[in-house]
Chain A
Amino acid sequence: VQGPRGGVGGGNDFQWCFSQVKGAIDEDVAEADIISTVEFNCSGELLATGDKGGRVVIFQREQESKNRLLSRGEYNVYSTFQSHEPEFDYLKSLEIEEKINKIRWLPQQNAAHFLLSANDKTIKLWKISERDKRAEGYNLKDEDGRLRDQFRITTLRVPVLMPMDLMVEASPRRIFANAHTYHINSISVNSDYETYLSADDLRINLWHLEITDRSFNIVDIKPANMEELTEVITAAECHPHQCNVFVYSSSKGTIRLCDMRAAALCDRHSKFFEEPEDPSSRSFFSEIISSISDVKFSHSGRYMMTRDYLSVKVWDLNMENRPVETYQVHEYLRSKLCSLYENDCIFDKFECCWNGSDSAIMTGSYNNFFRMFDRNTRRDITLEASRENSKPRAMLKPRKVCTGGKRKKDEISVDSLDFNKKILHTAWHPKENVIAVAATNNLYIFQDKIN
């Protein structure tokens, strides 16, 4: 039941408000501009996006000034760079997209920031560093860089550091290539801050952040005979605290938890999570809609959340036979599966995320709608990312989809939903009620109203 005041993610007086929108306004969306991943860094100070054109844009939150009492700091562009380029593998006759599938930040250890970005085949470690000083008064070259005539140098001087306009540089520090025959769907940094995993459709590899010419294969589900292939890996993540534990989800709606202490090759799981299915309700679509598109551990490490086509499920790691919570995202689509199969929407991969305290979860839907569920109050809300509601600090009004019969005012009927406006990627600030929602080529930032 939705009250008029929303109330999801915080107390009863909680309200989501528009904060910012980034990206072009024009209707014609260039394919390269479609945002393919969104991720806050560990402190929430930085927000990174990756797009289909292989570019990364990083936003930084401005320092909160005392004048702006009614809103939190805004996110402004900090750095942007071309992470991946399109490639063609001539040996396999395979086109490799430059689209950034995932970005994951490393925890900050010094002044520089590090992130991993991955396309279908290659993972890169990027260092983003600030430069606000430069040396002047070199001996061997002029101020404009030209080499000085050696015979003209008669004295020796010590270069002096002078302040300069802030420059943010992104440089690729490591390139982790040639380890994936299939398409990478996930990367996850381990809690040991030394290793990370990368997963493709059939294999998962463990890397050391310093070593690029070698990686360990820890999961391999490729059958000897490809005709016997029945499921693929859809997502994988490292446990937030236990560096020996990771999970991976499958296209059959199952999750396997593995312990790297048990064996070098974790083909045998430690735990197997699957919800029993009612055999009488099985249909052609059952397996397709049960395919898990995202898996995320809670910050506490006690729970994990999975997203399949119609729902989000929260699992207790101590209970394998069914989820502890199930939330319907857009159940009204169950009677539209035929057309969703025909237009391929049934294969859309929605992500999901937790808020900082694990009390709420968020996931996207169609028509630029996104959904939030409060785990404590069991309240849910549907909101829309739209430029129509983009005045600064404008409160977001809950949206409702009408499933049958009479459509009330302000409701939208299922048949009017725009299935081209999909919200696949969302991110929640690790500590505050600030969310980033990617709507095709636009990035929306919403925050709670400060009371």
Chain B
Amino acid sequence: MSGEVQASTEEQQEMQDTVVSPEKAEEVKLKARYPHLGTRPGGSDLLRKRLQKGQKYFDSGDYNMAKAKMKNKQLPTAAAEKTEITGDHIPTPQDLPQRKQSLVASKLAF
């Protein structure tokens, strides 16, 4: 019985929060769509993703860190991006997409 009373107070607090803060309402919406979203808001996961921008292929440091993590805990996996190929194969120069040089002049210059 007391548990139910406690739950309804929490619900009331949450309702109050959504009325008071649009930001908290948005947070509730987000958590509803992604229940496994990291408990640390805007934390290391986001930052590390930012630092790794441009990283295309597997390297040995990545592999060792991933191995160490697997031993300790199961991390929530972010949605796998189609362009990232990590851990699947070792790249060779033939695999790499050819980067075309920008030979065209800027359209601002006309």
Q: Are A183 and B106 in contact (CB under 8 A)?
A: no
Give the chain A neighbours of B107 by CB distance below 8 A: 23-24, 33, 441
- Bound-complex Cα distance A24 to B106 (A): 10
A229 to B43, CA, bound (A): 8
A86 within 8 A of B: yes
Contact B106 A93 (CB under 8 A): no
Instruction: Report A385-442 residues with CB < 8 Å from chain B CB.
Output: 441
Task: Given the known inter-chain contacts A93-B59, A284-B27, please indicate yes or no for A22 contacting B41, CB distance below 8 A.
Answer: no
Q: Is the CB of A283 within 8 A of B21?
A: yes
- Tell me the residues in window 48-82 of chain B with beta carbons closer than 8 Å to chain A beta carbons: 48, 50-51, 53-59
Cβ of A241 within 8 Å of any chain B Cβ, yes or no, is no
**Cα-based distance from A230 to B40 in the complex (angstroms):** 10
What is the bound-complex CA distance between A216 and B23, given in angstroms? 42
A residues less than 8 Å from B36 (CB atoms): none
Q: Do residues A229 and B109 form an inter-chain contact, with CB atoms below 8 A?
A: no
Q: Does A67 make an interface contact (CB < 8 A)?
A: no
Q: How far is the CA of A24 from the CA of B109 in the complex (A)?
A: 10
Chain A proximity of B28: nearest CB distance (Å): 9
* B102–A57 touching, CB < 8 Å: no
Contact assessment for A55 and B43 in the assembled complex, using a CB-CB cutoff below 8 Å: no
Residues of A in contact (CB 8 Å), total 56
CB <8 Å contact, B27 and A285: yes
Q: How far is the CA of A335 from the CA of B48 in the complex (A)?
A: 27
- Docked pose: A283 CA to B29 CA in angstroms: 12
Q: Find out whether the CB atom of B108 lies under 8 angstroms from the CB atom of A226.
A: no
Asked if B37 is an interface residue, CB under 8 A from chain A, the answer is yes
Q: Which of A269-324 touch B at CB < 8 Å?
A: 281, 283-288, 291
Chain A nearest CB from B31 CB (Å) reads 7
Q: How far is the CB of A230 from chain B (nearest CB, A)?
A: 7
- Are the C-beta atoms of B59 and A232 separated by less than 8 Å? no
- Number of A-B residue pairs having CB atoms within 8 Å of each other in the complex: 132
Task: Chain A residues near B56: list those with CB within 8 A.
Answer: 93-95
The distance in angstroms between the C-alpha atoms of A88 and B95, with both chains bound, is 13
Complex: A426 Cα to B51 Cα, angstroms: 26
Contact with A along B24-43 (1 / 0, CB 8 A): 11110111010001000111
| Distance, CA A336 to CA B22, complexed state (A) | 8
Q: Contact partner of B22 among A82, A98, A228, A335, CB < 8 A?
A: A335
Interface hits, A90-139 → B, CB 8 Å? 92-98, 120
**How far does the Cβ of B34 sit from chain A's closest Cβ, in whole Å?**
9
The minimal Cβ–Cβ distance linking A397 to chain B, given in whole angstroms, is 26
Task: Give the distance in Å from the alpha carbon of A55 to the alpha carbon of B104 in the complex.
Answer: 10
Contacts of B102 in A (CB 8 A): 32, 53-55, 82, 85, 98
Q: Is A169 an interface residue (CB 8 A)?
A: no
Cβ–Cβ contact B59 & A335, under 8 A: no
Give Cα A201–Cα B53 distance, bound, in whole angstroms.
11
In the complex, whether A77 has a CB less than 8 A from a CB of chain B is yes
Question: Are the CB atoms of B47 and A283 closer together than 8 Å?
Answer: no
Contact of A251 with B by CB under 8 A:
yes
A198 within 8 A of partner (CB): no
Binding site for B on A (CB under 8 A): 22-24, 32-33, 35, 49, 51, 53-55, 57, 77, 80, 82, 85-88, 92-98, 120, 182-183, 201-202, 226-232, 251, 281, 283-288, 291, 334-338, 341-342, 441, 443
Supply 12 further A-B pairs (C-beta < 8 A) apart from A85-B101, A285-B27.
A23-B107, A24-B107, A51-B106, A51-B108, A85-B102, A93-B58, A94-B54, A94-B56, A183-B53, A232-B47, A284-B31, A287-B41
